[in-house]
Amino acid sequence: MAGQRVGYTRVSSFDQNPERQLEGIVLDRVFTDKASGKDVQRPQLAALLTFVRAGDSIVVHSMDRLARNLDDLRQIVQQVTRRGVHIEFVKEQLTFTGEDSPMATLLLSVMGAFAEFERALIRERQREGIAVAKQRGVYQGRKKALSANAITELKARVAAGEAKTSLADEFGISRETLYQYLRTS
């Protein structure tokens, strides 16, 4: 009996649309993460890896959607293929079964290295762009989550003993952001 064809899609932000990644491919189920690919700590990736069984096939648009560094990519591919799960990369037209040839292993390494290199280039261009914008006086950094009045109110309410977690929820910020505001004068 043939296993299920299970898709995995990933976009980096909530306003991006993952639908186009596996458009037109018949799948039994799709797991979608809206998170960075910088590491493998993604809830739907974890759910996918728990869900698949021997005989199933995981279908991913491209290697960089699964992992952005070579070590993570190889680890995931080896983990699933050892369990009898095939993994297909549509864009690269590569399928890994666990019974792969040395050439397939080389291709995985080379293509994964390109994905990692591409991520490094993107980060480098971003840093360079920010540095140029700062020199021109254009770059202001990220907009503050709270206004000066809201920060003053937040600090006063914390000083009065209100619970920080409930204040973070009320102000629509994370607890880490709340603590950052409390550390600044």
Beta bridge partners of 59: 7, 88
- At the top level of CATH, the class of 5-115 is alpha beta
pLDDT digits (tens, 9 = 90+) for 10-46: 988 776 778 889 999 999 999 999 888 778 889 999 9
- pTM for the predicted model, two decimal places: 0.68
Q: Which residues are catalytic, by number? A: 12
pLDDT digits (tens, 9 = 90+) for 40-54: 889 999 999 999 999
- What is the spatial distance between Cα 74 and Cα 14, in angstroms, rounded to a whole number? 27
Angle, CA of 72, 73 and 75, to the nearest 5°: 65
Q: Where are the domains of the chain?
A: 5-115, 148-183
